[in-house]
Each structure stands twice: as C-alpha cells, then as structure tokens.
Amino acid sequence: MSRRLAPLALAIAMTAGACAPRVGPSEYALAQPAGPYRLASGDRLRIIVFGQDNLSNIYAVDGSGRIAMPLIDTVEAQGRTTQQLERAIEGKLRAGFLREPKVSVEVDTYRPFFVLGEVTNSGQFPYVHGMTVQTAVAIAGGFTPRGQRSSAEVTRQIDDRLVTASVPITYPVQPGDTIVIKERWF
C-alpha cells in the first residue's frame, strides 16, 4: 500500500468501526430480570384451589394488575411471583371461607411481546419460553432487507420503570418486552 493511501485506509476503517454498534455486557446488563418471574397485566394464570372445583379456573391479570376470583373478590397480582400470589389467595380464603386452603398458581399464558421496526410483520406476538431476539424476529416474519441483523433495542419494565438497552440478537426475551429492529446504514 502506498504511503499516501495508508492514512485514507486508516480513516475509513475508523469511520466504519464507529458506525458499528458496540454492545458490551455493561450496556445491557440492566435489562436482565433479577429473580423469579413477576406477574403483570396480560398474563393468564391457572389457579387451582384443592378440593374446591368451583374456585379452580384460569384467571387473567387485568389492566390494573389484579385477578378477580369468586368469594374473595380481587387479589393484587402485579409484581408478585406465583408463590407470593398463592399465599395471598390462601390468606384471603382463610379469612372466613376455608379452614386450610391449599392453592397452586402457574402461568398458563405469558403476556405477549412486541416487535417493531425493520421486520416483515411488526406487532404483538405470543411469548414462547426461552426465546431470543433472533427467534422473536423470526416469529415476526424475519428482517426486512434494511434491518440491522446484529443488534436490537429491547425495552423492559424493571422495578416500576422502563429500561431500554441495545442488545445482541442472541439476547433472551421476556414476556412484555418491546423489541425494535433499527435500520442499518449500508
């Protein structure tokens, strides 16, 4: 390479490197959920009250974060784990309805996730356990020709606030996440 072209080649390489997303663990670690799964609006729960078939059913967590059950009216589910919700339901049933209630709560259907941006079909999709950004994009019909294929922005609610982070496409998706696929520049 001639001496006159070397500075030009170096400038082009530095410019190309500046355009590439630099995703390091510290940039997206905040978006990782801490601890067990927390319930939120849009989740559907299978609740079994042992020995009480009329109370056992599938209940949806409503927009206010509650479920409505016969006898005990509403129970706060937002932000609780399934085990915490079991104890809350048992407590309400024990307060005047059943002597020794035994309750089991499991997630029947997780709340949906959303994909926006440079994908074939933007929208809301049902969550599949163990999915990554890449599988979410596949569910949304794949990337458009201009879609950024190495990273995405994920917005997630953590501790009553929304956190947005740039993540690699191998990053795990959680129920309720919003994934935005940006446009690539070349």
User: What is the chain's pLDDT, residue by residue, as a tens digit (186 residues)?
Assistant: 444 433 433 333 333 333 323 334 444 554 455 678 889 999 999 999 999 999 999 999 999 999 999 989 899 999 999 999 999 999 999 998 889 999 999 999 999 999 999 999 999 999 988 899 999 999 999 999 999 999 999 998 877 788 888 999 999 999 999 999 999 887
Residue 174 one-letter amino acid? Q
Q: Smallest Cα–Cα separation from 110: which of 151, 143, 74, 82?
A: 82
The pLDDT score that the predictor gives to residue 96 is 83
For CATH 3.30.1950.10, the residue range(s) in the chain are: 44-109
CATH superfamily, domain at 112-186: Outer membrane lipoprotein wza domain like (3.10.560.10)
How is 17-86 classified by DSSP, letter by letter? Answer: HHHS----HHHHGGGSPPSS----TT-EEEEEETT-TTT-EEEE--TTSEEEETTTEEEE-TT--HHHHH
Residues for the chain: how many in total? 186
Residue 57 contacts by C-beta under 8 Å, 6 or more apart in sequence? 46, 47
The pLDDT score that the predictor gives to residue 57 is 95
Separation of alpha carbons 49 and 93, rounded Å: 10
The pLDDT score that the predictor gives to residue 36 is 85
Separation of alpha carbons 150 and 31, rounded Å: 18
Q: How would you class 134 by CB atoms within 10 Å of its CB: exposed for 0-12, middle for 13-18, buried for 19 or more?
A: middle
The pLDDT score that the predictor gives to residue 21 is 32
Tokens in use for 107? 């997630």
Separation of alpha carbons 87 and 177, rounded Å: 27
The pLDDT score that the predictor gives to residue 33 is 59
Separation of alpha carbons 111 and 133, rounded Å: 16
Q: How would you class 21 by CB atoms within 10 Å of its CB: exposed for 0-12, middle for 13-18, buried for 19 or more?
A: middle
Q: How would you class 24 by CB atoms within 10 Å of its CB: exposed for 0-12, middle for 13-18, buried for 19 or more?
A: exposed
For CATH 3.10.560.10, the residue range(s) in the chain are: 112-186
The pLDDT score that the predictor gives to residue 171 is 92
The pLDDT score that the predictor gives to residue 159 is 72
What is the architecture of the domain spanning 44-109? 2-Layer Sandwich (3.30)
